[in-house]
Amino acid sequence: MTSLRNIVVLTGAGVSAESGVPTFRASDGLWEGHRVEDVATPEAYFRNPTLVHEFYDARRAKLLSVEPNPAHGALARLDSEWPGDFLLVTQNVDDLHERAGSKRLIHMHGELKKGWCLACDERFAWDGAMGENAACVSCGKAGEARPDIVWFGEMPYEMERIDDALRRCDLFVSIGTSGAVYPAAGFVQTARYCGARTLEINLEPSQGSLFFDERRYGPAGELVPIWVE
């Protein structure tokens, strides 16, 4: 990797699978019989906020029993040791990358451990169960806080910064994502169009696998440390 300067890494649910966090599109990706599309939309939230809060409260509680795996550790090491620009863009809403030590990190789909008050537009740390009637820390209003998660139809976070990094990177690496959800699924094409080499690391070929110059298939917990070394 000596001729490379700028790296962008995109991660998805597959990077946390070996930590015990279920992926979305595997057969175990259902939550109590609900498809993610039925609980991860603004419409679902306004139709049935109790159900959506229960979904996110259960996933937030689950974070307490999972730990970063060797893939998270290797990416954190790369971040701390890489002298050029490095950006880790994760679609995951868990906190395993930061717990492993990653610093140059964007959570493009939000974070389980943050809430968003619709009354005062404040984002805030949220550790426990959110519940439908929880009061917002900043303005004190009850029942106005939603999970700070990017749902279908909403604009992912920090798109300008991500787009800029994709256009300037020499290497784009996609790890543990099915390539089924846009705009993340299109990042490989932007990076490639702008001249970057592209590498996919996944359990199986993703929907965009043909856009990658190089593909490595197997568990992220094994392949990512090998790639980083």
Residues classed as catalytic: 109
Residue 199 binds ligand BJW (CB under 6 A)? no
Q: Does residue 128 have a known ligand-binding role? A: no
Beta carbons within 8 Å of 59's beta carbon, 6+ residues apart: 31, 93, 94, 112
Closer residue to ligand BJW in complex, CB, 72/109? 109
Among the listed ranges 6-14, 73-81, 125-133, 136-144, the one in contact with ligand BJW (CB under 6 A) is 6-14
The residue with its CB nearest to ligand BJW is 14
The residue within the footprint of ligand BJW, chosen from 118, 137, 194, 203 (CB under 6 A), is 203
The residue within the footprint of ligand BJW, chosen from 8, 9, 10, 12 (CB under 6 A), is 12
The residue within the footprint of ligand BJW, chosen from 4, 25, 30, 103 (CB under 6 A), is 25
Residue 176 binds ligand BJW (CB under 6 A)? yes
Tell me how far, at minimum, the Cβ of 38 lies from ligand BJW, in Å.
11
Residue 51 binds ligand BJW (CB under 6 A)? no
Interface contacts to ligand BJW, rule CB under 6 A: 12-14, 17-18, 23-25, 29, 36, 40, 91, 93, 109, 149-156, 159, 176-178, 180-183, 202-204, 206, 219-220
